[in-house]
Structure 1
Amino acid sequence: MFMLKRLLLSITLTLFISTISLVYASNLSKQLLTIPMTLTTREVVTLEQYQGKKPVYLKFWATWCKPCIKQMPHFEKINQQHGDDLAVIAINLGINDNLAAVQKVQQEFNLSMPMVIDTKGDLAQAFRLLGTPYHLLFDKQMNLVHLGHKADSVLDNKIALISATKELDLLADTAIAETEKPLDLGLDDSKTHAFLFTATWCDWYFKDSRPTASQQCISAQNSVNNLTKKFDKFAWQGIISRLWTGPSELANYTKKYQVKHPIAIDVSNSMFHQYGIKEFPSLVVVKNGEVILKTSDFSKPESLAKQLSKL
């Protein structure tokens, strides 16, 4: 009789725990649920800690992103209206940005939600960022229910519903799963590889908001065009950011700068992430798997050539 009671108790506990697990079940991977998001206050939060408590709204943005800035009043309004029932978190890309620039935007729009700066690019990589602004909405169980770039009525309606604990149709976790393969550049050789990391749009898009960076983008490609001739023993490769970029943008860029060296879009963002590229443009020189030079300064081509000659 004692053994039977223990068996029944064990079954009851198992069923109870299973029920609790189902209630809080998420279609996200453990990696996404537990990836740390470090706030500018130095507090670290994860999606998992909100699971079963309140839905979460993540928004990726940049201070130089014009649509992002245009959406800021809407973003703050959402936080004011639903902040008690919805965890609203802003994530700055950390690309050609810094804390001072972020704080300036916070002050301008009186932003009150927690702020993250994605200094290592881990969050952009994990959530498969393809462009900003980028909205991701998760229900109370941490199921993905919305992703997109617009601050429109579709987003507003979904936020209102999940803030009121209404159920929404779920998006498959594959919607933010990486499907592209990393670039195969054959780095397991004895050559010295020189990678120019840049974007097809950074010369013209940064012109007003980041004029220095805009000029660097122009100088970088022009300099590399010349350096490929002088340092022909290096294996030169242009690596283009996948943000807002496809084959047609790459073709236009190649034609515009008369690029002769190999160039490709980092469609999986793995190269940008691997080498921690947070400034457009950047030159990274690699030999035997080790970085022997990394710079974002193309203002003095002669100085750069001198650095390369010593490698």
Structure 2
Amino acid sequence: MLRLRLMLAALVFISCSAMAETPAKILKTPISLLNGDTITLEEYQGKKPVYLKFWASWCQPCLKEMPHFQESQEKYGDQIKIISINIGINDTIEDMNKVALKYGLTMDSAYDSDGEVAQAFKFIGTPYHLLFDRHMNLVHRGHKADESLENKLQLLASQSDTEHASHAVFSEEEQALDLPIHAPQPTAIYFTSTWCDWYLKDTRPEVSENCSRSQVEFNKLVRKYDSVNWVLVVSRLWTAQSDLDDYVQKYDIPIKGLIDTSNKAFVNYNVKHYPTLIVFKGGKEVHRTLDLTRDSQLADMLESL
């Protein structure tokens, strides 16, 4: 009888250890595919592993990895659910489809139009690989299509167990920025990144140029309209405090910048293009522009505030 109880206890332990440690919020996060379907990790729990790859069409490392990504689909697509997720930042579905056509991508694809998927999965920079076993335990998280990722794919495709990665990243909650949109005076928030002016120079030259000239124009507006509460917010993607400090110095920006470490400000205000300037009055958005130098209404609007 004692031996039987011990065996049952061991089976319960094994069963529990196989259960997903991944938070329910992650398992239930909807991923909208371009074919019109909406799926979640929960649907594949107990059935097959899932491989998510976040990318952008202007991300050079992402494009270099695309042959490997398609290769993975062809080798493991029957055993592993593979999903391509474009982050939707300075990108369109048309841009996404061009890449898919160029590299012959055949896996299911999603376009993260509102940033909710990236937010849920703690996306911090492209390319971003997440691999979950069939119990939806995280077994790989990284930025490279390297030997480690390939080994994990092979193991999961053969239904072999592999070591779990830490799920703590999905539970971490960074403090949201306290932005003064309800201040007595009008507030203008300039959303940008510390790298869009140089990193996108080759792949998105028009965006790169706009990032640079709009930042210069923003500085002029800050100095001219002192009745407006100006705020500079930069994306957390590939950005540390030292990057922000260098950026502020590079453009001689007259105000202190903030890093949206939680990414909640970019998601809450649906900022999917760098740069974006949003003007608030009485807590309500009254103007939004993606190009400060070519917006003919911006100066008149600021004068009227």
- Tell me if TM exceeds 0.5: yes
* Kept after mapping to 1: 8 A contact 2:218/2:292: no
Answering whether residue 274 of structure 2 is matched by residue 280 of structure 1, we say yes
Correspondence for 1:242: 236
* Kept after mapping to 2: 8 A contact 1:56/1:140: yes
Task: Indicate the SS of the match to 2:198.
Answer: helix
Correspondence for 1:63: 57
Q: Point out the more displaced range, 178-187 or 239-248.
A: 178-187
Aligned pair count reads 295
Correspondence for 2:193: 199
Shift of 1:210: 1.0
Shift of 1:23: 8.0
**Equivalent position amino acid for 1:244 in 2:** W
Task: Indicate the SS of the match to 2:89.
Answer: coil
Structure 1 CA distance, aligned partners of 2:304 and 2:64?
47
Gaps of 5+ in 2: 1-8
Could you tell me which of 20, 26, 30 is aligned with 2:20? 26
1:110-259 equivalences under 5 Å are 110-259=104-253
Correspondence for 2:32: 38
**Equivalent position amino acid for 1:263 in 2:** G
Answering whether residue 260 of structure 2 is matched by residue 260 of structure 1, we say no
Answering whether residue 87 of structure 2 is matched by residue 93 of structure 1, we say yes
Shift of 1:232: 0.9
Cα shift readout 1:233-265 (whole Å, capped 9, x = no counterpart): 111011011111111211111111000112111
CA RMSD, 1 decimal: 1.9
Q: Point out the more displaced range, 210-219 or 167-176.
A: 167-176
**Equivalent position amino acid for 1:214 in 2:** S
Correspondence for 1:11: none
Structure 1 CA distance, aligned partners of 2:165 and 2:14?
22
Q: TM-score, normalised by structure 1?
A: 0.90
Task: Indicate the SS of the match to 2:53.
Answer: strand
**Equivalent position amino acid for 1:104 in 2:** K
Structure 1 CA distance, aligned partners of 2:157 and 2:281?
52
Change (3 A) 1:21 1:120: farther
Q: TM-score, normalised by structure 2?
A: 0.92
**Equivalent position amino acid for 2:146 in 1:** D
Structure 1 CA distance, aligned partners of 2:227 and 2:290?
22
Structure 2 CA distance, aligned partners of 1:126 and 1:157?
26
Structure 2 CA distance, aligned partners of 1:277 and 1:21?
43
Structure 1 CA distance, aligned partners of 2:172 and 2:75?
33
Identity %: 43
Could you tell me which of 47, 69, 76 is aligned with 1:75? 69
Answering whether residue 262 of structure 2 is matched by residue 304 of structure 1, we say no
Cα shift readout 1:196-247 (whole Å, capped 9, x = no counterpart): 0001110111111111111110121111101112211111011011111111
* Kept after mapping to 2: 8 A contact 1:55/1:142: yes
Shift of 1:19: 9.8
Shift of 1:303: 4.0
Gaps of 5+ in 1: 1-14
Change (3 A) 1:204 1:49: same
Structure 1 CA distance, aligned partners of 2:268 and 2:41?
24
Cα shift readout 1:257-289 (whole Å, capped 9, x = no counterpart): 000112111111111111010000000112333
Cα shift readout 1:70-107 (whole Å, capped 9, x = no counterpart): 00000000110000000000100100100111111001
Correspondence for 2:45: 51
Structure 1 CA distance, aligned partners of 2:231 and 2:163?
43
